Structure 1
Amino acid sequence: MATITFKRGSTPYTLHTHFTAGKSLTFVEASKPKQDGGLEIYHLSQRIADLHKKFQEAGATSPLMVIDEPNGRGGTHARYFYRGHGCHFEHQDGARVYG
């Protein structure tokens, strides 16, 4: 069984905690200041790739999933979440395993 350790307070820890609570996240939501309810995580796509890599390096199956959704400006953006943690996006059309 693979063991993954996160340093408390690190960005991977923050993302892991957020996702295991059944929550999802987009770039816009992640980059909001903490006082506005955001996580103040910048370059989210790179941070997600780093989190995915932690699972790969540990030999564990990554629970990361992604779904594209309208961004309100005529395009789409990615919404990230974990499968198996109660996020309702997991069962929507277009949801796919990250990677």
Structure 2
Amino acid sequence: YGIPAYRLPRDILVKEIEEIKNLGVEIKCNIRVGRDISFEEIKKRFDYVFLAPGVSKSQKMGIEGENMQGILGGIEFLRDFNLHEKTWLRKEK
């Protein structure tokens, strides 16, 4: 959700992902190492591995007012905005 469509159009993103997959790259998403697969199993099954852990929740800054109603962290704001949820920039859903 972090890169807006005007910076990386979704059709281009899909095309580039397909090009990578056509090179023989296997892409696995939403896998938790240690729960869904062990690191030992990863080392056995794959010659090369690129791990890209993401953050699903913004970090608190420890400043006054950050817990007030209507205050969103960056990740939550980007998620809501890119999923066309109601935000202060977009009143209608």
Q: Which has the higher helix share?
A: 1
Q: Please confirm whether the aligned pair reaches a TM-score higher than 0.5, indicating the same fold.
A: no
Q: Which has the higher strand share?
A: 1
Q: Which has the larger radius of gyration?
A: 2
What is the TM-score normalised by the length of structure 2? Answer: 0.29
What is the TM-score normalised by the length of structure 1? Answer: 0.27
